[in-house]
């Protein structure tokens, strides 16, 4: 594949950056509240530990339930109207949460925030606005904005709480969401056509096979467990910092900032080893062990700034490695033409994990205190380790999408056979309705020259037919 084809055009760059910005701002709005909500919600009338935890994770329930329907609606009604409606719901939920004077209204606001489940529609629009050759880069950009949003929120959330309070943070997210609607219509290009993209959208006919795939189910359980533990952690960490360490909410960024920086510094070489050196299995399993060790440290060490900081560095190092590795593993394990379906199921598992983590964290905190939450998290991490050890890590392959143009069904089958005979081609599916070949390749073994010859043959046949 030539270098020119894999370079984004100005229109693709504009589309990818603007949609990544919309996605990132929305995730920032959800994450900003994590480090500060438990203390604020605890003082609202009607608050109990269970309801506080549920309010923290409530957005995950509606996110999980509505991700797939929003994606399907964007196929029928158009990407931009569905994205704008989702942002409007998120803004409305933020306003309701900002004005809440009891725990029940706050809970309702968080549920409404989660109802703005635009993720699938945004991904589908990215696919509409990018070529097959550049789509992976565009999707990676969106994934990167999620990680950056989360890291920034840990530092910025406590600072904003000091300046404008928790209601002010909700008002800010409402304003940002309204601004994002303007970006959707004024900055994001209009797709020439909205087609079906099996690498980016859920396919109902492939859903059954994805739900029966044991490797994918193990990875789905992994993201479920990871976000369950993360959300449960934020039910109790802010109160521990205030009540046992003596660190006021407005100064908690002093702890979070070095924790975030140290965890990123430790993460990058581990992710490099996993991908570049093909050491995914030991790095992946090691990160789960680190996560487990961090949770045990949180449960057993006496709370103090240094012990807590050390445990949190370990936790977020493991978390960051796993958060980066799991999407890569999903891509490797999913059938070539079912990546969008596999990712859709994976996202649902992630948000259900966040919901259950908040609810379970609140219930356990009320009965057994922070130590109980840390120990429950350790049990979940240990269970995940057992699940991960029960099956192999997916083969180290990459997904490659190739535009092949309009084909008759017979020509698609012939091209599929030719692609599958190429050295290093692990799987190839060609769909005449899309004019796209979905390939899984081993980049170290792929015979690029043979692939080029097959594609030249396809172009020659198309020119002869044209």
Instruction: Tell me the C-alpha distance between 207 and 35, whole Å.
Output: 36
For the chain (466 residues), the mean pLDDT of every run of 10, in chain order, is 66 91 88 95 97 97 94 90 96 98 98 93 90 82 87 93 96 94 92 77 86 95 98 96 92 94 95 88 96 97 91 97 92 87 94 98 97 98 96 81 83 90 92 86 91 84 67
**Are residues 216 and 329 in contact, defined by beta-carbon separation less than 8 angstroms?**
no
Residue-level pLDDT at 304: 87
Structural tokens at position 193? 């056509």
Closest CA to 58 of 289, 362, 262: 362
Name the CATH topology of 398-465: Alpha-Beta Plaits (3.30.70)
**CA 199, CA 219: separation in Å to the nearest integer?**
18
Number of alpha helices (DSSP H) and beta strands (DSSP E) in the chain: 16, 3
Determine the Cα angle at 107 with ends 106 and 111, to 5°: 115
**Which pTM value belongs to this model?**
0.94
- Reduced to 3 states, what is the DSSP secondary structure of residue 183? helix
Q: What are 261's two structure tokens?
A: 């920086």
Phi, psi of 422 (to 5 degrees): -75, 135
Which pLDDT does position 3 carry in this prediction?
Answer: 46
Where on the phi/psi map is residue 57: left (φ > 0), alpha (ψ -120 to 50), or beta?
alpha
- Return the H-helix or E-strand segment holding 284: helix 280-300
CA angle 355, 358, 362 (to 5 degrees): 145
Query: Rounded distance, CA 415 to CA 402, Å?
Result: 12
Q: How many CB atoms lie within 10 A of CB 167?
A: 18
As given in the structure block, the two tokens for residue 172 are 């800010």
Q: Which CATH class is domain 213-396?
A: mainly alpha
pLDDT given for residue 5 in this prediction? 58
Q: Give the residue range(s) of CATH 1.20.1250.20 domains in the chain.
A: 1-201, 213-396
Spacing of C-alpha 373 from chain mean position: 24
Quote the CA–CA distance of 89 and 91 in Å, as a whole number: 5
Q: What is the pLDDT of residue 2?
A: 47
pLDDT at 160: 95
Quick: pLDDT tens for 346-357. Answer: 999 999 999 999
CATH 3.30.70.100 in the chain: give the residue spans: 398-465
> Domain 1-201 is of which CATH architecture?
Up-down Bundle (1.20)
Given a contact cutoff of 8 angstroms between Cβ atoms, the answer to whether 14 and 70 are in contact is no
Tokens of 17: 């950056």
Instruction: Give the model confidence (pLDDT) of 387-405 as tens digits.
Output: 999 987 777 888 888 888 8
Task: Look at residue 205 in the predicted model and tell me its pLDDT.
Answer: 83
């Amino acid at each position: 594949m030539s270098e020119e084809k894999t370079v984004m055009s100005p229109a693709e760059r504009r589309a990818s950056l603007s949609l990544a910005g919309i996605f990132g701002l929305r995730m920032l709005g959800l994450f900003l509240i994590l480090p500060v909500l438990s203390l604020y919600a605890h003082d609202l009338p009607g608050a109990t530990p269970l309801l506080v935890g549920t309010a923290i994770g409530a957005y995950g329930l509606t996110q999980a339930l509505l991700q797939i329907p929003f994606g399907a609606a964007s196929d029928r009604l158009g990407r931009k109207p569905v994205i704008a409606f989702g942002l409007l719901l998120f803004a409305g939920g933020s306003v309701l949460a900002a004005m809440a004077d009891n725990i029940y209204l706050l809970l309702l606001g968080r549920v409404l925030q989660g109802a703005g489940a635009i993720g699938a529609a945004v991904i589908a629009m990215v696919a509409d606005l990018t070529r097959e050759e550049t789509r992976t880069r565009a999707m990676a950009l969106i994934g990167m904005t999620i990680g950056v949003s989360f890291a920034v929120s840990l530092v910025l959330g406590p600072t904003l709480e000091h300046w404008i309070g928790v209601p002010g943070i909700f008002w800010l997210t409402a304003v940002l969401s309204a601004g994002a609607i303007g970006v959707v219509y004024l900055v994001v290009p209009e797709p020439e056509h909205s087609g079906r993209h099996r690498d980016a959208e859920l396919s109902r006919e492939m859903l059954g096979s994805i739900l029966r795939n044991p490797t994918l189910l193990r990875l789905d359980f992994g993201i479920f467990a990871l976000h369950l533990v993360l959300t449960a952690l934020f039910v109790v960490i802010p109160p521990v910092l205030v009540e046992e360490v003596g660190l006021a909410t407005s100064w908690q960024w002093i702890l979070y900032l070095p924790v975030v920086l140290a965890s990123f510094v430790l993460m990058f070489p581990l992710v490099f080893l996993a991908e570049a050196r093909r050491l995914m299995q030991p790095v992946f399993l090691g990160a789960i062990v680190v996560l487990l060790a961090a949770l045990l440290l949180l449960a057993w060490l006496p709370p103090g700034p240094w012990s807590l900081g050390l445990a949190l560095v370990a936790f977020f190092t493991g978390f960051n490695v796993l958060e980066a590795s799991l999407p890569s593993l999903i891509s490797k394990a999913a059938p070539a033409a079912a990546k969008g379906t596999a990712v859709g199921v994976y996202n649902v598992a992630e948000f259900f994990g966040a919901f259950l983590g908040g609810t379970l964290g609140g219930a356990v905190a009320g009965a057994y205190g922070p130590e109980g939450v840390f120990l429950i998290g350790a049990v979940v991490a240990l269970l995940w380790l057992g699940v991960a050890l029960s099956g192999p890590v997916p083969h180290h392959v990459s997904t490659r999408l190739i535009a092949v143009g309009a084909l008759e069904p017979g020509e698609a089958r012939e091209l599929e056979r030719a692609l599958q005979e190429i050295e290093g081609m692990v799987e190839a599916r060609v769909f005449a309705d899309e004019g796209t070949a979905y390939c899984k390749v081993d980049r170290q073994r792929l015979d690029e020259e043979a692939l080029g010859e097959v594609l030249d043959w396809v172009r020659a046949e198309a020119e002869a037919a044209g």
